[in-house]
Chain A
Amino acid sequence: EVQLVQSGAEVKKPGESLKISCKGSGYSFTNYWIGWVRQMPGKGLEWMGIIYPGDSHTTYSPSFQGQVTISADKSISTTYLQWSSLKASDTAMYYCARQGLSGSYFVYWGQGTLVTVSS
């Protein structure tokens, strides 16, 4: 069974750094793209970026380029989303999602990680 299990909720202060994770299991981790999606409170889904764990090739949405870093450690089947300096506006639910066999769509989703940034 394919599963994406994300790390737990985080409460941080503005200016702090953060790295959240998404661990894949039940499939060949290196062969499928994994994307990250933001959902701010009461708002819609926003595509942030995507990584191919096989070679760590990464593409970012122009809206998120330079704001976050997506990485992967294929030895432990885990992808990461990190911030170097959080802002209150980073408060949101973050989902990781794995693409399907032919790409272009997200079949499997993590349960989401709620990040709250508040002073």
Chain B
Amino acid sequence: QSALTQPASVSGSPGQSITISCTGTSSDVGSYNLVSWYQQHPGKAPKLMIYEGSERPSGVSNRFSGSKSGNTASLTISGLQAEDEADYYCCSYAGSGTYVFGGGTKVTVL
């Protein structure tokens, strides 16, 4: 069970859109529409941003959206804002009651 692959860093200017990819395998991301995304600011606990691939929890800005194609899930942040600067992690169900996280992506707002 290997970690999902995310880019180490992504950056963008305020107002721009950025996309973070999360690549797994046919045993995890590709088999289930059960990818979730978490935002983590330094020294804080993670916060759920997207679940079941594209669903947004109550209270999460609609600037955050999720999608999936094949073995790759994606998180898009539109209208980038300074407060979006954080680490982002994807997580997928991997069968047999197990889950796997991605390595994390540091988002920098230029």
Contact = CB atoms under 8 A, between A and B. Distances in A.
A28 B32 CA distance: 27
How many B residues are at the interface, by size bracket?
A: 20 to 34
Interface stretch (A67-75, A76-84, A98-106): A98-106
Interface stretch (B13-21, B46-54, B74-82): B46-54
A66 to B, nearest CB: 15
B110 interface: no
Contacts, number: 70
Contact of B45 (A35, A102, A110): A110
A45 interface: yes
Interface string B36-80: 101010000111100110000100000000000000000000000
Interface of A: 35, 37, 44-47, 50, 59-63, 95, 97, 100, 102, 104-107, 109-112
Interface of B: 1, 3, 32, 34, 36, 38, 40, 45-48, 51-52, 57, 87, 89, 91, 93, 96-104
9 contacts: A44-B102, A45-B40, A47-B101, A50-B99, A62-B98, A104-B93, A106-B36, A106-B38, A109-B45
